[in-house]
Amino acid sequence: MFGILKLMYPAPISEPISSRDSNAYLLETLRFSGLNLRNDFGVGLKIWRVLSFTYNMLILPVSFPVNYTIHLAEFPPDLLLQSLQLCLNTWCFSLKFFTLVIYMPRLELANKHFDQMDEFCVKSEEKRKVRDMVAAITRLYLIFVVVYVLYATSTLLDGLLHERVPFNTYYPLVNWRVDRTQLYVQSFLEYFTIGYAIVVATATDSYPVIYVAALRTHILLLKDRIVHLGEANNESSSDPDSMLRSLVDCIKAHRTMLKSVHPVWHHHLRDGRPSADVSALLLLQRHRGRLQRGGRRIVPLRVVDAGPAVPADGPPVSAEAPTADDVHGDEYIQH
């Protein structure tokens, strides 16, 4: 509708949309801040990256303490308290930006996992929900941007109204206390420089919410697939082979979700790998009755303390048992 803002609205099924589009605007903001997400920076963008990183992680957090050192005696109590709050916010922003720079490759890794999850969304209803999710998350991020920009603008107007600078940082060649001209010069310098950092902060503050919201949608889609697997209104319920493939797809989708949260859910890892084998076996056991009615027989399995799967009539399965990545009908199903 508005070109660049088209992701705000759910796209039709005929238009290709993927889950990674939900963070497209966020990644463009990070690219604007100097993060080379596509490995396509030329000389000009590399120079901009050096300037952006230097300002966000060095000049901005240092400017407040320098200003306190030089002009502390000229700070009234209310302005000093306001400035200390801004100083703390800039330090936190610099730390978050630095962390994001270090772990930047994981953003693309998360999007690759979203691409894999999209492959399991084959029904029109699932594709529609993905498009609704992309539009909702895009609007959420734009709300972040509007709120943050309004904060910067209102702070500028409030400062000009009370004849003081909006953020009270230090600029070597400008002193707003001298005359009105320097007040206006420093006010607009702060508005554009700190306003730039505020726009970048929309990405550093919102990216956890955006990625988790997209993941939540896929978790709900997987839950619906499992709940409705083998039901009478399911077109594959009468075909055991088709139902088996659907069940295996659910297991693989769950495995992909576990991989996507690998950096966060360390306590779910054993020996460096997610315990998705148990989840796969639990899913197979849950639907064993439906597969048996279709002419399949599942080897009886039980799970002890979330450890290795144990056949009901034999010793525990060895550590080399197939994982969810290797699930095929013949590993767990006997004809």
Instruction: Render pLDDT for 181-229 as a digit per residue (tens, 0 to 9).
Output: 999 999 999 999 999 999 999 999 999 999 999 999 999 999 888 887 7
Give yes or no for residue 243 having a pLDDT over 70: yes
Share of the chain above pLDDT 90, in %: 39
Q: Are 278 and 241 in contact (CB under 8 A)?
A: no
- Residue where the block lists tokens 């919410």: 209
Mean pLDDT over 126-134 rounds to: 93
- DSSP class of 318: P
Mean pLDDT over 104-122 rounds to: 89
Q: What is the pLDDT of residue 289?
A: 55
Q: Greater confidence, 231 or 323?
A: 231
Backbone angles phi, psi at 205, to 5 degrees: -90, -30
Q: What is the pLDDT of residue 213?
A: 93
Distance CA 314, CA 213 (A): 43
Q: Which is nearest to 256 in space by CA: 225, 307, 218?
A: 218
Instruction: Supply the Cα-derived Rg of the chain in whole angstroms.
Output: 27
Q: What is the pLDDT of residue 290?
A: 52
- Domain ranges within the chain, ordered by starting residue: 3-227, 240-334
Task: Give the model's confidence band at 257: pLDDT under 50 very low, under 70 low, under 90 confident, else very high.
Answer: confident
CB neighbour burial string for 209-221, b if at least 16 within 10 angstroms, e if fewer: ebbebbbebbeeb
Q: Are 29 and 199 in contact (CB under 8 A)?
A: yes
- Residue where the block lists tokens 């700190």: 194
Give yes or no for residue 149 having a pLDDT over 90: yes
Distance CA 245, CA 228 (A): 14
Who contacts 225 (Cβ-Cβ below 8 Å, separation ≥6)?
A: 120, 246, 249, 250, 253
Entry pTM: 0.76
Q: What is the pLDDT of residue 3?
A: 54
Instruction: Render pLDDT for 281-312 as a digit per residue (tens, 0 to 9).
Output: 455 555 555 555 544 444 443 433 344 444 44
Q: What is the pLDDT of residue 103?
A: 87
Instruction: Render pLDDT for 17-42 as a digit per residue (tens, 0 to 9).
Output: 899 999 999 999 999 998 877 777 88
Task: Supply the DSSP string of 208-259, one letter for each residue.
Answer: HHHHHHHHHHHHHHHHHHHHTTT-TTSTTTT-HHHHHHHHHHHHHHHHHHHH
Q: What is the pLDDT of residue 244?
A: 79
